[in-house]
Structures are given as C-alpha cells and as structure tokens.
Amino acid sequence: MATDVLDVIRTKRDGGALSDEQVRFFVEGYTAGSIADEQAAALCMAILLRDMAPGELATWTQAMIDSGERLDLSSVGRPTVDKHSTGGVGDKVSLVLAPLVAACGAAVPQLSGRGLGHTGGTLDKLEAVPGWQATLPTERIVAQLRDVGAVICAASETLCPADRKLYALRDVTATVEAVPLIASSIMSKKIAEGTESLVLDVKVGSGAFLPEIDRARRLAETMVGLGHAHGVRTVALVTDMDAPLGRACGNGLEVAEAVETLRGGGPPDVVEVTLALAREMVALAGLPPGGASDPAAALADGRALAVWDAMIRTQGGDPDAELPVAPIRHEVRAPAGGWLRRLDARAVGVAVWRLGAGRSRKEDPVSPSAGAVCLRKPGDEVADGEPLLVLYADDEARVPAALAAVEGAVEIGPEPPAPRPLIVERIA
C-alpha cells in the first residue's frame, strides 16, 4: 500500500501507470481530507498530460464508486436505463427523453447536475418550473421510478463524494478537459446510481467541451469501455453540437421547448436526437421493438407528455404553471442577406451565460428566464436586417456583454452550408 502521496504524483508525472494500491490510497485519502488540494491538483494535471491506461482507469472509477453509497433499484419492477449528455448549448433532450422512455416501459433514474460555464444544467432548467424540487431521498427516488417510471433529480451527497471533490478541484485547475477524469466522473456516478443500462450522448463541435472529433470519439470509447467493465450495458452516440440544439437556449425557455416537443411539435433537430437516443435506450432495456415500446408513437400519442406531468407533480412542481418571462428583450439582426452558414454554439452559450442563465462558480444563482432564442438556424435563407436571435435578460446591464459574445458568431454567404449529420457516430 502506497503511504506517500508524492510517490503517487511522481509515478504519474513520469508517465507510469498507478498501481491499484496507489489509486485507492489517493482516492480514499483525498475523499477523507488527508491529501491536500494542491497535491490532488498536481495529480490531476499529471493525468491530463500523461493519460491513464484502461485498467488503471477502471480501478480509479471503482474507487470513486466505492467512496460512497450505491443505489439499489432492484425493487423498481421495470428495466432501468439512463442517459448522460456531455453538455451542450440548447440541449434540453433529457427533459423529453426521460418521460418518453418511461412511457415506453422502462424506468429512467436520471441523476443530473447543474450548468457551469457555457453549457446548461438539467436541474437549473427544471427549477424554472414553479415548485419543482431537485433533491429527493433515496426511498422517494425508488418509489417514483416504480410509480411514474422517470425521475430527474440531484445526486445525494453520499453518492460518489470523491467525484464531488475532484470535480470542484478540476474546475479551478484547468483540468476539466482530461479525458480519463471526464470519463471516470460521469461513469462513477452513473454506475453508482444503479442503472442496468446507459446511453451516452457525446457532443462534438464548437459548443462541446471536446470540439474535436478524435477526442470526442476517444471519450465515448473510454466511457463505453468503463460501462462494460462494470457490468452496465453501454452505448454512445456522438452527436453534433456546432450549432445550438433546437431554438431555445436558457432555463425556462428550454423547458417550454421541451414541453412543445412532448406535445408532438418541437424543432426537428431536437426530435431527431431525442428519438435516436430513445431507440437506443429502449433496445438496451430489452423492450420489444415497435408497439407500446415505439418512442415515436409515445411522443405522438401523448403518453410521454402524461409521464412528464406526473414526474413534475410528484416532485412538487406544477406542469400547468406559467414559466417566468424575462422583462428585457433584444434582437440580433442579420448583417447581410443570404444563407446562414454558421451560428456558433459556443458563442451563443457564452451569451446566454452572460445574460444570467449560467454560472461561473457552482454557488452562483441562475436566472430562470434569461437566455436566447434562435429564430434562424444554419441552412436557413435570411434577409438583410432580419432578426436572427432574441436575447432575454432580467437586467439590461447584462446585454452588452452578451452582444459582445455573439459578435462574429454568425456567418452569412451566397450558398447554403453543406448539411451536417446530427448523429455522427455510434459506439458500442
């Protein structure tokens, strides 16, 4: 058993693989507080620069799972399957997907997080619904899965406490992008939540944490491998995040668009990504294809909307309540006529963040009504001076910084852009 954290740091700094004993010594020590933040930061940077081998990462992930409780969902009475997105701009798919897959016969235990930086968080979005509660005790999670089929809530303090500490540290040490640390952070929580199957939505493009396809593919492959190593049936779809997904970006705005989708409408790109993920989830859950398990039918006939209403009500919310509306509205207009060739997802995400919908630190409050609506998307023909974006804010003083963020985010040309597939790759 390693007894010196400096040996652990040196091993990884010099490109070596950490032994099982070194991994457990570090994860247990840092969780317990016997290893200092600066020492953990040094190891995270060494991992970013030196990487981890598959076996080493599997042990690291298991140690993070073992740092806390593991939920037992065996009494739910339905096959369990979850989905995780690596984060994007306008990505409200989870809001539609959880009730949709539950309407097809599975149970979806979606333990979700909050937004940080330019990407939105599912819990922040749902908290725009009056009365909705993010924090549930374990017995209520299990009961809601049994009775409703879907739950979206915060992970408890006792689930993967090692990840809770490491995530906060990575955020302030420029090590968020380390693929082994991203993969272990996501997969330790998903495995600890007790789901039998998992579908991953790995974003690629300007609005993703990993904009390059090679790194996004590697992250997807790494997470699928970790899932298989820990007995969780896992599939990943790599999906496009070069432009915002859908039209609405921001907490309450995205809830409204998700409900529109559950009512059989919604933007075509949101519907396409949602159905692609839903079909993978239904298949992994072992439900028979077609019939009552067909996601497209459950979306069209109102069953998914009924589960949404029940899910929101069970967590204290009012699905019929009016969502908050921002008092400040500012239009961003086309600088010329032609074809909209690019609408940069990251730039729009940063603008939405600056408008008040996101946070710089985990403890920052967020506005439920701030955000942006994309009136036009790449591939649309636009007229000179036509509104392209509408920015929403609670405070007029936030608008100039948001406008600066989207300056240069729009490209208009004489020809339409080449179409980009939304579903880039499937990795199993």
Neighbouring CB atoms inside 10 A of 220's CB total 27
Let me know if 118 is a catalytic residue. Answer: no
Catalytically annotated residue among 82, 124, 242, 269: 82
Question: Is 122 assigned a catalytic role?
Answer: yes
The residue from 12, 118, 165, 190 that is catalytic is: 190
For residue 165, indicate whether it is catalytic: no
Pick the catalytic residue: 11, 59, 185, 197? 185
**Alpha-carbon distances, residue 269 vs 87, 92, 198, 298, 381 (angstroms):** 16, 11, 22, 18, 18
For the question of residue 84 being annotated catalytic, the response is yes
Provide Rg for the chain, Cα atoms: 21
Active site (annotated) includes residue 171: no
How far lies 34's CA from each of 10, 30, 263, in Å? 18, 6, 52
- Catalytic residue (one of 12, 118, 170, 376): 170
User: Is 119 strand, coil or helix?
Assistant: strand
Q: What stretch of H or E contains 213?
A: helix 213-229
Burial class (CB in 10 A: 0-12, 13-18, 19+), 33: exposed
**Candidate list 85, 197, 261, 367, residue with the active-site label:** 85
**Residue 184 among the catalytic residues:** no
Task: Give the active site residue among 189, 217, 346, 376.
Answer: 189
Q: List b or e across 158-184, with b for residues whose CB sees 16 or more CB atoms inside 10 angstroms.
A: ebbbbbbbbbebbeebebbebbbbbbb
Question: Quick check: is 125 catalytic?
Answer: no
- What residues contact 426, with CB distance under 8 A and at least 6 apart? 235, 236, 237, 238, 280
Cα–Cα dist 307/318, whole Å:
13
Distance CA 2, CA 5 (A): 8
User: Which positions are catalytic?
Assistant: 82-85, 122, 170, 185, 189-190
